[in-house]
Amino acid sequence: MTCVSRIKSARAGALRFLRRFATNTRGNIAVMSALVLPALVGTFGLGTEAVSWYATARSAQNAADSAAIAAASNAGANYTTEALAVAARYGFVNGQGGATVTAANNQPCPSGAASNCYKVTVSKSLPLLLAGVVGYRGNATLSGAPAQKVTASSVALQGISPRPYCVLALASSGTTPALRTNGAPKADLAGCNVMSNTASTCNGHNLNADHGDAHTTDGGCGVIQTDNVATVPDPYAALVDSVPANTCGSYPQEPTKKNQPALQPPNLLWGIQAWSGTVQICGDVQLTGPVTVNTDSNGAVLVIQNGQLDTNGFTLQTSNGSALTVVFSGTAGAYTHAPTGGGTIDIAAPTSGAWSGVAMYQDPRLTEGLDISAAGNSPTWDITGLVYLPHASVTFSGAVNKASNGKSCFVLVADNLLVNGTGNILAHGECPQAGLGMPSSPQPSRGLLVL
């Protein structure tokens, strides 16, 4: 073969090889994989890390929310410590592992109307892993290397909730302490809160009351004791407008030696009394036997003008489905406007109408003959509802139980109160069902998220 022929043959072979190479698809996937693998790895890594960032952000938000609530609930000098401790429970320890936790008080509230909110910010820097393959450099650094920082913030405000009181010493006379005990080793006001509009002093026994509040200094009253509480306005004074006008004039009190002279027949009660609306009796009222009061569903109001209620060793009781309010009213003078005598007052207050929830009411316009020296003892009190004695000095000794035919609710409001020896308020907590809005004051409570 000539030289020319060899050249032509070689060229033809080369062309055939190139044609086969050009049409051969084997190995394309490997080549393409080599070209796109870095992008795939980077994209997969970025997606995986984004999920991690999102999960961390959610945890950080939960930590910020809980820490802000804790700070607002604490609302004291160590609110920051409280917030940091709560955030740490979520795994965000300030200054460790790229985490930063800050807490601040006196922050603007979202409403713009106040600046007493608490703000907590939780952040954490996470190292970049595969995301850097596609050139993502993050938004922070961690130990000198690129990192992704996630941040969550939360704002909370200390909540306010009403604290109801089963005992309120109004101290309108200026008496201080307006709530005090005389030893009272057996007193048990568990489940109740007590309030004095001046000071309170409980020596040697805290009454077992859940909260003891005082406008000035609470001296040992209550399991939890709080000073400098705002005074509680008299919530029942306006009921005086529902007291009927006194049309009786002057009526004598019951003599020291009973029945000499005897009270008039309308003033002597015994047996079944069917009452409705307002029943007014002038002068002292005395039981001469057990009395059961029957009323319609609206109850009745017994208004005693210029007189006392002498149970005289007997029981005054409302029947099942009946309700009664006893009102002491009249004119200023040498009268007694209070219950007295042995026996028992066993009455349930109305659950609707002007006197809803009120079992006993001393007219706040009265200024004399109001004090009670043996409340709950002589006579015994089995009462559902409010006993309102706004200008009376009261000594409370004995157990107050619910009425036989009433709900478990009892509230005592007096000018000042001495708990002497015993002093129990038994089986309570049903004042809403009994129709009584209890006296209360707004008190700090658990923090509330506002942002």
Q: Whole-angstrom Cα distance, residue 238 to residue 415?
A: 16
Task: Return the pLDDT at 255.
Answer: 54
The answer as to whether 236 is a domain residue is: yes
Kindly state whether residues 186 and 320 are assigned to the same domain.
yes
Please answer whether residues 311 and 340 qualify as being in contact, where contact means their C-beta atoms are separated by less than 8 angstroms: yes
Query: What is the Cα–Cα distance from 334 to 332, expressed in whole angstroms?
Result: 7
8 lies in a domain? no
What gap in Å lies between CA 263 and CA 310, rounded to an integer? 12
pLDDT computed for residue 36 by the predictor: 47
Q: Which neighbouring-strand residues pair with 200?
A: 179, 218
The least confident of 43-52, 65-74, 149-158 is 43-52
Chain mean position to CA 102 = 29
- Point out the domain boundary residue: 161, 181, 202: 161
Residue 334 — pLDDT band, cuts 50, 70, 90? Answer: confident
- Show the domain range for 332: 165-444
Angle at 95 between CA 93 and CA 100, to 5 degrees: 75
Q: Which of 76-80, 124-128, 129-133, 156-160 has the lowest mean pLDDT?
A: 129-133
Quick one: 99 and 176 in the same domain?
A: no
Q: Is the same domain home to 216 and 72?
A: no
Strands (E), 60-116: 99-107
Q: Is the confidence at residue 25, as pLDDT, over 70? A: no
CA dist 449 to 72, 116, 163, 221, Å? Answer: 9, 13, 21, 33
**Residue 117 sits in the same domain as residue 207:** no
Alpha-carbon distance of 129 to 136, in angstroms, equals 10
Which of 129, 161, 193 represents a domain boundary (last residue)?
161
Mean pLDDT of the chain: 87
50 found inside a domain: yes
2 within some domain: no
Q: Which residue has the higher pLDDT, 261 or 390?
A: 390
Q: Do 276 and 373 reside in the same domain of the chain?
A: yes
325 and 226 within one domain = yes
Do residues 91 and 219 share a domain? no
Q: 261 and 133 in one domain?
A: no
Instruction: For residue range 355-395, list pLDDT tens digits in order.
Output: 999 999 999 999 999 999 888 778 999 999 999 999 999 99
380-337-274-352 Cα dihedral, nearest 10 degrees: -90
Q: In terms of pLDDT, which residue wins out, 30 or 96?
A: 96
Residue type for position 404: S
**Structural domain count of the chain:** 2
End-of-domain residue from the set 130, 161, 192 = 161
Burial, 239: exposed, middle or buried (Cβ in 10 Å; 0-12, 13-18, 19+)? buried
Are 80 and 179 members of one domain? Answer: no
In a domain, residue 21? The reply is: no
How far apart (Å, rounded) are the C-alpha atoms in residues 414 and 165? 12
Please tell me whether residues 248 and 377 are part of one structural domain.
Answer: yes
Q: What is the pTM of this model?
A: 0.78
Same-domain pairing of 217 and 93? no
Residue 16 forms part of a structural domain: no
Q: Check pLDDT > 80 for residue 24.
A: no
On the question of pLDDT at 342 being above 90, the answer is no
pLDDT at 171: 98
264 within some domain:
yes
- Which string of DSSP letters, residue by residue, matches 204-268? S--TT-SEEEESS-EES-SSEEE-SPPP---SSGGGGGGSPPP-----PPPPSSTTTTPPPGGGE
In this predicted structure, which of 142-146, 195-199, 343-347 has the lowest mean pLDDT? 142-146
232 or 283: whose pLDDT is higher? 232
CA–CA distance, 191 with 398 (Å, rounded to integer): 17
Same domain, 287 and 391: yes
Q: What is the pLDDT of residue 411?
A: 96
Are 170 and 415 within 8 A, CB to CB? yes
Interatomic CA distance for residues 292 and 272, integer angstroms: 5
Kindly write down the DSSP assignment for every residue of 178-221, as one continuous string: SEEEES-TT-B-TT-EEEESS-EE-SS--TT-SEEEESS-EES-
